[in-house]
Amino acid sequence: MRTQFSRTNAFFPILLLLLSIPTVLQAELLYTSDGAKITITGSNPRATGDLLIPATIAGLPVTSIANSTFYGCRELTKVTIPDSVTSIGKSAFYCCIGLKSVTIPASVTSIAAGAFYYCSGLTSINIPSSVTSIGWLAFSECPALTKTYFNGHTPLIAGDIFIGSTNVTVYYIQGKTGWDTTFEGRPTAFFDPGPVLQTLHDLARNQIVLSVKAGGDSAHSVEYTDDLKQWIPLATKLVGTKDLSQLDPDASNRPFRFYRVIQQ
């Protein structure tokens, strides 16, 4: 059984403000702007804990992480990259030895050479289907890395990417092209991504639309809660190759609401 959570976030800016302040404050980041977009260029090397990179700064979208931005930030433990970012530069997280988790959004198309080189604490990483190119040594010298999940077709690889990462198994979705029994010298295996719950605020109807994307035919149930104590079923249906949308007409009457999808 897999459970995934999603929370509607269109109705409670005060709560969102509280949740958006990471352990590493935005003031720890250096950036440049061309007047239309933002590139993150540096960080306090003594930064610690979890970092949520903002999607916007000064009203402009954050679209890239430059070369060596977090080089040697040894005490960062978790990094969440926003879905405004399209590229991760060379050695961007080089030698972030305390980094255990990184979230790469489906907006990223390229991961440059050595981006996660010597992230010795990283145990797994999820590569979205949007990534079409990965540079040399991108995930090298990561001895704790055991699972790398690729959600799309094989990306363009510019040289060995797993040198020294001898414990990695590469997982891919059956039906995606370009995969074989090994990838970049590492063994491969199938994985089922399962259903994914997404939320969208339908302004025209002032309702929340729940879209469930499934990895294969499976029955699922969508449940909601307003207090994180009691979960109430919203729908139970079979999801196949088509996405299924479910309306929650009561959501707009609530200050906040949480959802989860459970694969049966």
Under 8 Å between Cβ of 228 and 212: no
pLDDT score of 28 = 78
Q: Is residue 180 part of a domain?
A: yes
Examine the fold and report which residue of 136, 156, 190 is the final residue of a domain before the chain moves on. Answer: 190
Which residues lie closer than 8 Å to 206 by C-beta, 6 or more apart? 252
Handedness of CA 143, 133, 52, 172 (dihedral sign): negative
Say whether both 168 and 219 belong to one domain. Answer: no
Say whether both 120 and 45 belong to one domain. Answer: yes
Residue 116 token pair: 């996660």
Say whether both 166 and 221 belong to one domain. Answer: no
Which of 175, 81, 163 minimizes the C-alpha distance to 125?
A: 81
Examine the fold and report which residue of 135, 157, 190 is the final residue of a domain before the chain moves on. Answer: 190
Which of 214, 196, 213, 212 minimizes the C-alpha distance to 247?
A: 212
Say whether both 43 and 172 belong to one domain. Answer: yes
Domain limits for position 201: 196-263
pLDDT in tens, the chain (264 residues): 444 444 333 333 323 333 333 333 444 799 999 999 999 999 988 888 999 999 999 999 999 999 999 999 999 999 999 999 999 999 999 999 999 999 999 999 999 999 999 999 999 999 999 999 999 999 999 999 999 999 999 999 998 999 999 999 999 998 899 999 999 999 999 988 766 655 555 545 555 556 665 555 556 677 788 888 888 887 655 444 345 556 676 766 777 778 777 766
Q: Write the CATH number for 38.
A: 3.80.10.10
Give the separation between CA 165 and CA 130, rounded to whole angstroms. 23
pLDDT score of 67 = 98
Number of domains in the chain: 2
Say whether both 73 and 200 belong to one domain. Answer: no
pLDDT score of 212 = 61
DSSP state letter for 208: E
Side-chain half-sphere CA neighbours of 94 within 13 A: 15
Say whether both 172 and 230 belong to one domain. Answer: no
Whole-prediction pTM: 0.69
Examine the fold and report which residue of 190, 209, 227 is the final residue of a domain before the chain moves on. Answer: 190
Say whether both 31 and 127 belong to one domain. Answer: yes
pLDDT score of 7 = 39
Give the separation between CA 18 and CA 211, rounded to whole angstroms. 27
